[in-house]
Structure 1
Amino acid sequence: MTLKNYYNVNTREEGMNTLMRSVYMWMMVGLLVSGVTAYASVHSAVLMNMIYGNPYMIWVLFIIELGLVIAISAGINKMSVDTARILFILFSFIDGLTLSSIFLVYTSTSIAETFFIASAMFGVMSLYGYFTDTDLTSWGKLLFMALIGLIIAMIVNFFLKSSPIEWWVSVIGVIVFTGLTAYDTQKIKQMGDEMEAEGERNISKIAVIGALELYLDLINLFLMLLEFFGGQKR
C-alpha cells in the first residue's frame, strides 16, 4: 500500500505532511504520558519508595527502557501497529518514572522554562531537517560516533562524579541531540519516500518509530539543557 493510496490524497506533499503530523502527534502523546507520570510519581510516596527506595530499581527501569527501544526499532516491520503503539506508550510511561527524579532536584519553574527552550530548539532543527535540500546522511555517522562517546563518558562519570566532565557531557550532548533532531527528521521523511516508492512499509508504523526517535531527541536535549538552565532546589 503506497503512501498516496493509504491516505487517499492526490499529491506526495499532502501525504508527507500527513505522515509528519502523525509522527508529531504520537511524539506529543508520548511526552504527555511521560510528563503526567513523572509529576504524579513525585507526588506519590508509594512510587517514590518503589523507584528510589531500592538502589537497583532505577537500573531495572533503564534496562526495560533500552529493551523497549530495541524491540520497537528492530521489530517494527514484524509487529502490528497496535503492538508498536502499546510498546511506545509503555516506554513513555516507564521513562516518566525515571524522569520523576528531576522534580526532586530542580524547581518546577526552571523545569518548565528549560523544556520551553528545548522545545524551541527542537522545533527549529526539526523544521530545518524537513525542509533542507542538504543531505544530512554524513551527519548521522558523526553524530552516532559522538553519541557512543557521550554514553561512555556518562558511564565513567557515574563513578567519578566529576563536575567538569558533567559540564562537558552536557555541552556535547546539546550539540549531538540538536543535530540528531534535524537528521532524524530528514530520515523519517526519506522513510516516507521509500514507502511510497516501494509500497512495502506501513505509514502508521513509520509514525510510531519516527515519534520514538524524535521523542528521544527532545527529552535528551531537555535533560542536557537542565545542566545550564535548571535551578536546583535549596
Structure 2
Amino acid sequence: MSDFNTMRAQRVSGTRAAEIDAGLRAHMNKVYGTMSVGMLITAAAAWAISGLATTTDPSMAVAQLPNGTMLNTLGGAIYMSPLRWVIMFAPLAFILFGWGALMRRASAAGVQLGFFVFASAIGLSLSSIFLVFTSYSITQTFFVTAIAFGGLSLYGYTTKKDLSGMGTFLIMGVIGLIVAMIVNLFLQSPAMMFAISAIGILIFAGLTAFYTQTIKSEYVAHAANGDQEWLDKAAVDGALSLYISFLNMFQFLLMFMGQQE
C-alpha cells in the first residue's frame, strides 16, 4: 500500500511538473511575442516619423543636417528645438516613475497597452537614426543584435547557474552608464562615447541572460498560485525588460557597425 501511494504521488508530481513546463513554454512565448510586437511598433514609428520630418523641397526646409538631409517644420521641432530633450528623457521617466504604478493599478490589458505606447514613444526618440545611418547598416546591426540576443536569452533560459548575483552589479552598471551618457551630452567626447558603447554592450548582454532567467524563475515560483492576471502582467513586464536590453544592445552596436549617410 505504501508503494502504491508513493507511485501515485510520483505520478501526480510528474503530471504537475509537466503542466508547469507547458505553462512556462506558453508564458515565454507570450513574453517573446509581446516583445516582438513592441519592436515592430518601434521600428514602424521610427521609420514613419523620420520620413514625415524630412523634405526634398528646399522651400519647405527649416534646417539642414551635416549630411544634407533637410528638415521640415516637424523635423525642426523634433530634432532641433528644446522639445528633443522631452522626447529623449520621457521614456526614461516613464520607466522610473510610471511603469511600477501601471503594474500595480492597471489590468493586464492596460499594462500591455502601456507597453505598446512606450514602444511608440521609443520609436519617436529613435527616429533620428534613419537620418544619420544608412538603411543597410541599420538592418545589418538589427540582425546581428537579434542573433546575439537569441543566444544570450537561450543561455539564460537553459543554464543551471544562478545569475541573480550579477543582477545588482549590472543594474548599478546601467545607472553609471546613464550618468556617463548625460555627462557626455555636454562633453561630446568621441573617446568617452566609444567606451560607453563598449561597456553598454557588455552590460545589456549580461542583463539579457539575467532577465530571461528571472522571468523563468518567477513563473515557476508563482505558477502554482493560478493567478492568471498576475501571470499576464508578468509576461508584459518580462517583455519590457528584454525589449530594453535588445534595444540598448542594438543602439550601442550601431555606434560600431553603423555607416553614416
Which of 221, 229, 250 in structure 2 is aligned with 1:222? Answer: 250
| Kept after mapping to 2: 8 A contact 1:114/1:229 | yes
2:195 matches 1:168: yes
* TM-aligned CA deviation for residue 69 of structure 1: 2.1
Structure 2 CA distance for aligned equivalents of residues 87 and 49 of structure 1: 28
Q: Give the number of the structure with larger relative contact order, counting CA–CA contacts within 8 Å between residues 6 or more apart.
A: 1
Q: % of aligned pairs identical?
A: 41
| Residue of structure 1 in register with 2:120 after alignment | 93
Mapping of 1:1-234 within 5 angstroms?
Answer: 11-45=19-53, 47-54=74-81, 56-70=82-96, 71-200=98-227, 202-233=230-261
Range moving further from structure 2, 171-180 or 145-154: 145-154
Structure 2 CA distance for aligned equivalents of residues 182 and 150 of structure 1: 19
* TM-aligned CA deviation for residue 47 of structure 1: 4.2
Residue 27 of structure 1 aligns to which amino acid in structure 2?
M
Runs of 4+ in 1 over 6 A off after TM superposition: none
Evaluate the alpha carbon distance shift between residue 149 and residue 53 of structure 1 in structure 2; reply closer, same or farther with a 3 A threshold. closer
| Residue of structure 2 in register with 1:4 after alignment | none
- The C-alpha deviation readout for 1:108-146, integer Å capped at 9, x for no partner, is 000000011111111000000011111001110111121
How many residues are treated as equivalent by the alignment?
Answer: 225
* TM-aligned CA deviation for residue 65 of structure 1: 1.2
| Residue of structure 1 in register with 2:62 after alignment | none
- The C-alpha deviation readout for 1:147-204, integer Å capped at 9, x for no partner, is 1111111111111111110000000000000000000011111111122144456221
TM-score (norm 2): 0.82
Evaluate the alpha carbon distance shift between residue 47 and residue 194 of structure 1 in structure 2; reply closer, same or farther with a 3 A threshold. farther
- The C-alpha deviation readout for 1:71-106, integer Å capped at 9, x for no partner, is 223441331112101111110001000110111111
3-state SS in 2 of match to 1:151: helix
TM-score (norm 1): 0.91
- The C-alpha deviation readout for 1:10-54, integer Å capped at 9, x for no partner, is 511110000000000000110000000000011103642331242
Can you give the 5+ residue segments of structure 1 that lack an aligned partner in the other structure?
A: 1-8
